Amino acid sequence: MKIRRAFYVITTLALITFTVVFSLRGEKKSERPKYMLVIHGGAGAIDANMPEEMKNRYYSSLRKALEIGEKILKSGGKSLDAVEAVVNFLEDDSLFNAGRGAVLNSEGYAQLDASIMDGKTLNAGAVAAVEHIKNPISAARVIMEKTNHVMITGAGAEKVAELNGLTLVDRAYFITSERTKSWNKANSKGTVGCVALDMEGNLAAATSTGGMTNKLVGRIGDSPIIGAGNYANNKTLAISATGKGEKFIKHNVAFRISALMEYKDMTLEEACNEVMFRHLEPNDGGVVAIDKNGNFALVFNTESMFRGVTGEGLTPEVKIWKTK
């Protein structure tokens, strides 16, 4: 028992050290950058020995996502528009567990969750357990802007999406050969997310997912739950999470990190590390975040996380594993 406990402590300290060094790169600026964008495409045990062709596909997709968001922000566009556009792109890319690439539930079809939040107004929208909406993140924004509600599930959300001109598709659209092959691998998980700071100083966050492979029909994870897997507040940060949804819900991860910053006066990195390494356990997942001053963090306690960052004065950078 003592040996196992010592190993856990050593492993945790190693992860913390990596995360602090990596994410402190976002705290070197003395003044707020004009804009900033950070993305993720899921965290977990991603095979470092995957074929080079597949690695390059992931890197290329992540770079394209950054390019889409940066183009909007650099031209003076809103953070909300940037995060929606980036997540739309990732939902349409079958490489990631959201939209077209969503994993399948226990009955062999996809049920999707998504949420979006405006840090300026604290307005938010979410959809959960939808089966026919091509881009759930856009439906979440419709919920936020066109209704008096925050979250709508299933057929109700699909009706709102249809009435507002969003594209509905057959269930078969989401069933790719790769997801069919992995259907019975029970612990697959992943999510896509984007957080942004625009030139007006407004933050926004968007998160979309297919959840976990083989999940029970109707299961809802943390991604559509404001304060668990997604949160934005101009007083503190914009944050998007990925990992074991039930754990992120129980620990109210996204809002907890924000609260530590607001009420404990922690920095973004300190708050992310406090929650990810003291409240959660190894291999639970990760978060990407930007604070009100444009500092950014990419923190995960898994072996890897698809991720990328760009912003004023930065060279766009994408990574999957800890060092590459």
> How confident is the model at residue 11, as a pLDDT?
47
Tokens 């856990």, residue located: 8
User: Who's near 142: CB < 8 A, 6+ residues apart?
Assistant: 125, 160, 161, 164, 166
Q: Which two tokens stand for residue 58?
A: 């992931």
> How confident is the model at residue 256, as a pLDDT?
98
Distance CA 16, CA 278 (A): 10
Distance CA 19, CA 76 (A): 31
> How confident is the model at residue 18, as a pLDDT?
43
Q: Which two tokens stand for residue 234?
A: 């101009």
The domain covering 2-319 belongs, at the CATH homologous superfamily level, to (Glycosyl)asparaginase (3.60.20.30)
Question: Which residue, 296, 305, 311, is CA-closest to 323?
Answer: 305
> How confident is the model at residue 9, as a pLDDT?
47
Distance CA 87, CA 104 (A): 20
Q: Enumerate residue ranges in the chain where pLDDT < 50.
A: 1-29, 183-188
Residue 204 bridge partners (DSSP)? 118, 196
> How confident is the model at residue 179, as a pLDDT?
60
The CA R_g of the chain, rounded to the nearest whole Å, is 18
> How confident is the model at residue 183, as a pLDDT?
43
Task: Report pTM.
Answer: 0.90
Backbone torsions φ then ψ of 130, nearest 5 degrees: -90, 150
Q: Give the residue numbers annotated as catalytic, written as ranges.
A: 191
